[in-house]
Amino acid sequence: MARGVKKSLQEKISQKEELIDALSVRIKKERDELNELLELQKMEELNELRMVVQKSGLEINDIIQMAQMQAAQ
């Protein structure tokens, strides 16, 4: 059974370069999407923290001082 035309070394190199370029673009896109998701997660956590602080009736400075005292122990 015939295997077809054998590719030249230069064609193989070109194909690998194209594949690497395409994968690099894909990795950048995925990293950008990951960073967006991490920012959304951070915002959700900050909103949750804000709600807890509001429910506590304490001022933000009080919370900061309490956290600093806890970290010092």
Q: Which domain holds residue 66?
A: 9-72
Q: How far apart are CA 40 and CA 49, in angstroms?
A: 14
pLDDT band at 60 (very low <50, low <70, confident <90, very high): confident
pLDDT band at 4 (very low <50, low <70, confident <90, very high): low
Task: Judge whether 51 lies within some domain.
Answer: yes
Residue-wise pLDDT tens digits, 6-48: 889 999 999 999 999 999 999 999 999 999 999 999 999 999 9
pLDDT at residue 3 in the model: 67
- Please tell me the total count of domains within the chain: 1
7 contact partners, CB below 8 Å, separation of at least 6:
15
Model pTM score? 0.68
Is the pLDDT assigned to residue 5 strictly greater than 80?
A: no
53 contacts 60 by C-beta, under 8 angstroms: yes
- The CA-atom distances, in angstroms, between 9 and each of 12, 15, 17, 26, 45 are 5, 10, 12, 26, 53
What is the distance, to the nearest Å, from the Cα of residue 49 to the centroid of all Cα atoms in its chain? 22
Task: Judge whether 15 lies within some domain.
Answer: yes
